Structure 1
Amino acid sequence: MDLDVFVTTHSPEWERLDRLARRGRRLTGAEVDELVELYQRAAVHLSQVRSGAPDPAVVARLTTLVARARSAVTSPGRPAWRDAAAFFTVGFPAALHRTRRWWLSTALLTTVVAVLVGWWVAAHPEVQSAIAAPSELHEMTRPGGQYETYYSSSPAASFAAQVWTNNAQVAALCLAFGAFLGLPVVAILLLNAANLGVGLGLMAAAGRLDVFLGLIAPHGLLELTAVFVAAGAGLRLGWTVIDPGPRRRTAALAQEGRAAMGMALGLAVVLLVSGIIEGFVTPSGLPTWARIAIGVTAEVAFLVYVFVLGRRAGRQGSTGDLDAGDLAAERPTAA
C-alpha cells in the first residue's frame, strides 16, 4: 500500500466525516445517511491501514475519527433540557401564534355568551328564583358569602394545586375532544360560559359586580385565555377532520394532533401560573387594584409571548410540530 496516495485520496472523505461528527451539530436526514456511510468507510480504511501500512500518525488520526463518528451515529440525541428550551422558546409560541385566529374568535364568542347570560340572570328575578331559593342566593352573594370565601376555603398551596389540576384537565379535554369534529369542545365552552354568566348575573343583581370582577380578574384573565387557546386548538383539530387541505387526512390529523398535544403540555405551565395567582393572590389582603394589576401583568406577558416570540418562530418556519429530523418519512402527495 502506498500510504501517501491512500491518505491523499481519502482525506476529503475523512474531513467531511469530521465535520458531520462534530459534537453539537444538528444534522438533516440526508446528512445522517452520509454520516453513517462515511463512518463505515473510515472504519474499513482504519483496518486497511493497520494491516497494510501501520503508520502511527495515520492510525491515531483514523482511530480518533472513527470513535467520534461512532459516538455521533449512536448518540441518543440532544439533551432533554435543550428540547425543553426549544419547545418553550420556539415550538409552543409558534403553535399559539399559528392558531391565534381560532382561539381569539373562541374567546370573543364565549365572552359574549357569558355576558348575555349574566344580563339575562341579573335582569330577570324569575330566572334567579329558578337557580336557587332567595335565602341561598343571599348566602352566595352577601359580603363574606360563598363567592368570596370560595377562594380562601382551603390552604393556598392545596387550593392552587387543585385549581391547576382541574383547569389542566379541562384544557386537555378540549384538545383531545377536537378530533370528534369539535362538538364536545363547543359543549365545554357553553358550560363554562353559562357558569361564568350565572355568577356574573347573581352578583350584579346583588349590587356587588365590582367585588365579583375583583375576585375573577386576577387569575381569570390568564386562566380563561388558556382555556380559550385549548378550545380553539381543539376546534381547529376538528376542522382538520372535515377539511385537511392538500394533505392526506391521516397525515393532517397526525400533524395537528402532535401540535395539540404539545400545546397541552405548554398550557399546563400557563395554568400553573394562573393557579398560583388564584391560590395566593386572589384571596390575599392586597387592594383590589393591586390584585387586578397582577392578573393584567400576567395576561400581557402571555400575549407578548404569543405575538412576539410566536410570530418570530412562525416566520422561521416552526409550526409547533416535531422537527423534520424527528419525523418518519412520508409518501409525497399531489397538491
Structure 2
Amino acid sequence: MDLDAYVAEHSGEWRRLDQLCGRRRLDAAEIDELVALYQRAATQLSVLRSRSPDPALVSELSQVVLRARARLTGRPRPSWAAGWRFLLVGFPGALWRAAPWWCAVAAVFTLLTFTLMGFVADNPETAAAFIGDEEAAELVESGFAGYYTEFSAPTFAFHLWTHNAWLAAKCLAAGVLIVPVGYLLWQNVVNIAVVGGVMISYGRADVFFGLITPHGLLELTGVFVAAGVGLRIGWAWIAPPEELTRGQAVARAGRDGVLVALGLVGLFAVAAVIEAFVTPAPWPVAMRIAVGTAAWLTFLTYVVVLGPRATAARRHSVDHEVGGDFDLRSTR
C-alpha cells in the first residue's frame, strides 16, 4: 500500500471528522455526516493498523476515531437522579431492612456499657486496674475535657471522620466471622464505661455526659449500624432464607452492606463536625445536647419514614416482576 497516497486521499475526511467532533452543536445533516465519516475512519484505521508501520499516524487517527465515538455515544456524566435515589431509597431501605440487627446491637452495647460504668463508679479502686490512679486523676482534672480542644477543629473533625469510618469498615468486614465484631464493640464498651465510671466516681458526671452526649448519640448509632449490618451478612451465610442459596443470601445482604457503608461516610462526617465544633463550644450544656439530639432524631426519622417505603417499593417491584412472569407463562 502506498501510504502517502492513502493519506492524501483520506486526510480531508479525517480533518472534517475532527472538525465536527469539536463543534458544540450539530444539525441533522452534520450528525449524519459525522456518523458516515466515523464509520469510514474506523475502517481506515483498521487498514492502517494492519499495513502501516507508522505509529504516529495510527495514534493520530485513533484519537480522532475515539473522539467521534465519544461524541456519538455521549460521555458518562454524574447522575443526580442516581444520587437522589440512593439518599431517598437505597440507603434508608438498607438501614430499615437491617434495623432489627443494629437495634439489638445498640441495646446490648448500651446495657453492657452502663452496667460496667456503674460498677467502676461504685468501685473507684477498679480504675487503677484499667488506667492507673494518676492517670485517672489527670483524666478528671483536664484530660477528658482537653481531648476536645487539643487540635484545631478542622483537623480534629477530619481525624474523627476517618477514625470512625475505619471502625465502621472493620465492623462491616468482620461481620462475616461474627466474633471479631463482638471484640471491636467490647473495646468501645470498656473505653466508654471506664472513662465514664471514673468521671462519675470523682463527681464529674455532668462534665462527662455534657461532652459525650452531643456527638455520641449519632456517632455510636453509626457504629451500631455498621456492626449490625456486618452481623447480618455473617448470619446470611450461617442461616440463609429457605428461598435463597447461601451465596444468594450473602450477596443480597452484602449489597445492602455496600449501601450502608456509603451512607455511613456522610453520617460520620456530620458526627465529626458536631464533635469538633459543637461539643467543645462555649455554649450552655443544654444547647449542645439539643444540637446533637436534633441530629440524632433527624437520622432516626429519616430511617423510620423512608425505610419502610423503600422496602415496600422494592418488594412490590419484585412481586410485579414475578407476577408478570407468571402471567406470561400462563398465556402460552
Query: Structure 1 residue 250 and structure 2 residue 247: aligned?
Result: yes
Q: Structure 1, residues 73-128: CA drift from partner, whole Å, max 9, x if none? A: 96788843221111111000001111111111110100011111111111113311
| 3-state DSSP of counterpart to 1:125 | coil
Letter in 1 for 2:150: S
Q: 2:168 and 2:132 mapped to 1: Cα distance?
A: 33
Residue of 139, 145, 148 corresponding to 2:145: 148
C-alpha deviation, 1:136, in angstroms: 2.2
2:213 equivalent to 1:217:
yes
The answer on whether the counterparts of 1:113 and 1:194 sit within 8 Å (CA) in structure 2 is no
CA RMSD of aligned residues (A): 2.1
**Residues paired across the two proteins, number:** 247
Are 1:175 and 1:261, in contact at CA under 8 Å, matched by a contact in 2? Answer: no
1:95 alignment partner AA:
A
Q: Hey, what does 1:94 align to over in structure 2?
A: 93
Where do 5+ consecutive residues of structure 2 fail to align? Answer: 1-69, 322-332
8 A Cα contact 1:234 1:260, kept in partner: yes
For 1:202, which of 198, 211, 236 is the aligned residue?
Answer: 198
Aligned to 1:60: none
Question: Aligned match of 2:233 in 237, 244, 253?
Answer: 237
Tell me the CA shift for residue 293 of structure 1.
Answer: 0.2
- Separation in 1 of the partners of 2:265 and 2:255? 16
- Take 2:132 and 2:256, find their aligned partners in 1: how far apart are those partners? 46
How is 1:17-166 mapped onto 2 (pairs within 5 angstroms)? Answer: 79-142=78-141, 145-166=142-163
Partner of 1:276 in structure 2?
A: 273
Using the alignment, how far apart are the partners of 2:198 and 2:236 within structure 1?
39
Structure 1 letter corresponding to 2:165: A
- Distance in 2 of aligned mates of 1:134 and 1:78: 59
Residue 183 of structure 2 corresponds to residue 184 of structure 1: no
Q: Does structure 2 conserve the Cα–Cα contact (< 8 Å) formed by 1:90 and 1:318?
A: no
After superposition, the C-alpha distances for 1:221-251 in whole angstroms (9 at most, x for unaligned) are 0000000011110111111110111211112
Q: Residue 292 of structure 1: which of 275, 289, 292 is its match?
A: 289
More helix by share: 2
1:168 counterpart = 2:157: no
Amino acid of the residue matched to residue 197 of structure 1? Answer: A
* CA-to-aligned-CA distance 1:177-203 (integer Å, 9 cap, x gap): 1112x1111111111111111111000
Tell me, in whole angstroms, the C-alpha distance in 1 between the residues paired with 2:236 and 2:73: 37
Tell me the CA shift for residue 318 of structure 1: 6.3
Distance 1:211 1:268, change over 3 A: same
Give the stretch that moved more between structures: 156-165 or 184-193.
184-193
Q: Secondary structure at the match of 2:148?
A: helix
Q: Distance in 1 between matches of 2:99 and 2:131?
A: 38
**Letter of the structure 1 residue corresponding to residue 123 of structure 2:** H
Q: Give the Cα separation in 2 of the matches to 1:157 and 1:292.
A: 21
Structure 1 runs not aligned, ≥5 long: 1-70, 325-335
* Paired residue type of 2:128: S
Residue 284 of structure 1 aligns to a residue whose secondary structure is coil
Structure 2: distance between partners of 1:249 and 1:129: 48
2:12 is matched with: none
Counterpart CA distance in 1 for 2:131 and 2:264 is: 35
Return the TM-score normalized by structure 1.
Answer: 0.70
Per the alignment, do residues 98 and 309 of structure 1 end up closer, same or farther by CA in structure 2, a change over 3 Å counting? same
